[in-house]
Amino acid sequence: MRENDRPFAPVLHPGVLSSSPTVRPSRRIALWVSLAAAGSLTVYSTDGYFSDGYGIKAKGRAGVSLAEADDAMGGANNPATTTWVSDRVDFGVDWFVPERSAQRTGPAAPLNGSVDSTRDNFFIPELAFKRSISPNLSLSLSLYGNGGMNTDYPAGQLNLGPGASGQNLLAGPGHLGVSLTQLLIAPTVGWKFASSQSIGLSPIIGYQRFKAYGLGAFAPLSQNPGALSDVGIAQSWGAGVRLGYFWEITEKVALGAEYSSPVFSQRFNKYRGLFAGDGSFDIPQSGGVGLAWQTLPALRVGLDYKYIDYAGVDSVGNPSSNPGLLGQPHGPGFGWRSISVVKVGADWKAGEHWTLRAGYSFNENPVDSKYVTFNILAPAVVQHHLTVGLTFEFGRHELSAAFMHAFANSVAGESRFVALGLAPPGTTEEISMSQNSFGLAYGFKF
């Protein structure tokens, strides 16, 4: 039975829609490739600096996607699911609104202060395309973004003496902030090697941009103070691979799994005095497993587990307390832990044209309280997310929407300035974050 013949857009079905296209989408795809390449260079942050989900449908159920097959975003989620969906194109945009703040309190009043980031509106496009080559073989393409270390804190919190007024919260001149953005391109081949099982392969091409400013006070701690801060935008390219597996265990239960290697990237040479390893900044490896269950004819429930190895990237995972200088191979980093993420979501077929979604996800906090100071730059500390979403289908067309709220969370700990002898014991810092996002997407089956 073909996908659009079933009463509910399925996770599971024994056949693949492979009809001849009635439109030529190549010009549309080329346009959206260029738009995604420009627009994905922005910010996203929920599971650390990975997105909570890729694809507006997945976002509506808290990112649950590893055993789901209802759009063409498999290259970003589980490449093996691509052989189970209609030939189609999906594109959308997510409006992302994070709120970040930091403060320092303690016995040294001149060091105390609080500040909110002023960058809090971002638009993140996404694009995916899938085409069947045969009933058991498909090709697809996904473009999507990561990021999240995008902050801009105004100056003026500190006044450390004559001629040195107006410093930012990390005692440097001018505004304080960083911008890390990532565009990931995943061409994908999916192969259904048995009636109920498939595998998929996605080479990953990664493009990154980064800049930092306002960190001048850390120049004495850097191996190269001229490549630490306020040197503009650095760029890098990288490559990795994602592998996926999908198994239709029964007509109602499916299992999916994926592994993504590190995206090994060129160094940010402009920031070889900031990031450990002379500016090295790979995208960490990750992996996950998911289960989907068609509990009722109109209700599908999914559960995903994901692991993100932030600690495996020295510039992110090295403790801020490491000996040595910023930029050295084993020098200080952000002190991020590797994290586990659990997501649960549901799809409800509410009528002939409507599907409703909801979900909840929880991720471990990557930021340890011992390393709050450096993470003022990137307070990615949210843990609990609630989502809702819907899709309206009319003929070959689909319109989808999703809303996500990440509840405010804070992490507090002793300031690194204490260990550096720049502040008395009892000086503490706290970083906080909350998030909202709203996304819209259009899908067309051909």
**What are 50's two structure tokens?**
């990975």
**Superfamily, domain 3-445:** Outer membrane protein transport protein (OMPP1/FadL/TodX) (2.40.160.60)
Cα 362 from Cα 382, distance rounded (Å) = 9
Cα 199 from Cα 83, distance rounded (Å) = 9
pLDDT at residue 18, as a whole number: 34
pLDDT at residue 45, as a whole number: 59
pLDDT tier for residue 28 given thresholds of 50, 70 and 90: very low
294-306 pLDDT, tens digit per residue, is 999 999 999 999 9
| Residue ranges covered by each domain of the chain | 3-445
pLDDT at residue 163, as a whole number: 56
pLDDT at residue 285, as a whole number: 97
Cα 280 from Cα 271, distance rounded (Å) = 9
Cα 415 from Cα 157, distance rounded (Å) = 16
67-81, 149-163, 249-263: least confident range: 149-163
Q: Is the pLDDT of residue 166 over 50?
A: yes
Return contacts of 35-39, CB within 8 angstroms, 24+ apart: 35/125, 35/127, 36/91, 36/125, 36/126, 36/127, 36/143, 36/144, 36/145, 36/183, 37/143, 37/183, 37/207, 39/93, 39/123, 39/124, 39/125, 39/145
* Predicted TM-score (pTM) of this structure: 0.90
